[in-house]
């Protein structure tokens, strides 16, 4: 549901019958969204970026953990994100959403700060899009408006 995602391939899936936890590892192919002006750096001149996503779904406990990191530019950049969806302690009918992200860019000289700022802005937009996508999925599944 994200416009920059070109393809997603599940490369591993395990269902632990003793715990009920479903583990999935997927590789996403995404469009390179780095602005053209920053692509003057040769290493950034790629059309696609690859991300690895791991997820652990525990339907019995009503929680899911997603961990994503960038497979492209691993020599120069570390981008990772962790999202947790879990049953709220306040109200069992609510879902808590917790998200953390880490960005570290090295080896780009003066562009390190510019690239980190762009990555941070992009991840912040991604958080908002992710919430909107989850609300849409829940609305389609359960027919309830979320605002």
Question: pLDDT class for 23, splitting at 50, 70, 90?
Answer: very high
Question: pLDDT class for 29, splitting at 50, 70, 90?
Answer: very high
Residue 73 near residue 41 (C-beta atoms within 8 A): no
Record the tokens describing residue 133, joined without a space: 């996508």
User: What domains does the chain contain, in order, with CATH numbers?
Assistant: 5-142 (3.30.530)
pLDDT digit string (tens) for 59-96?
A: 888 889 999 998 987 777 788 889 898 888 899 888 88
pTM for the model: 0.75
Question: pLDDT class for 40, splitting at 50, 70, 90?
Answer: low
**Residue 67: is it exposed, middle or buried by C-beta count within 10 angstroms (0-12/13-18/19+)?**
middle
Distance CA 70, CA 31 (A): 13
């Amino acid at each position: 549901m994200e416009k920059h995602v070109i393809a997603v391939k599940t490369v591993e899936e395990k269902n632990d019958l003793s715990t009920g936890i479903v583990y999935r590892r997927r590789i996403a192919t995404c469009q390179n969204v780095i602005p053209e002006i920053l692509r003057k750096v040769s290493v950034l001149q790629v059309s696609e970026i690859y991300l690895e996503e791991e997820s652990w779904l525990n339907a019995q406990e009503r929680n899911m953990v997603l961990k994503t990191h960038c497979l492209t530019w691993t020599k120069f950049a570390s981008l990772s994100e962790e999202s947790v969806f879990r049953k709220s302690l306040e109200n069992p009918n609510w879902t808590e959403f917790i998200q953390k992200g880490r960005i570290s860019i090295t080896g780009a000289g003066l562009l390190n700060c510019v690239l980190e700022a762009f990555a941070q802005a992009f991840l912040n937009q991604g958080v908002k899009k992710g919430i909107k996508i989850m609300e849409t999925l829940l609305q389609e599944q359960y027919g309830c408006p979320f605002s």
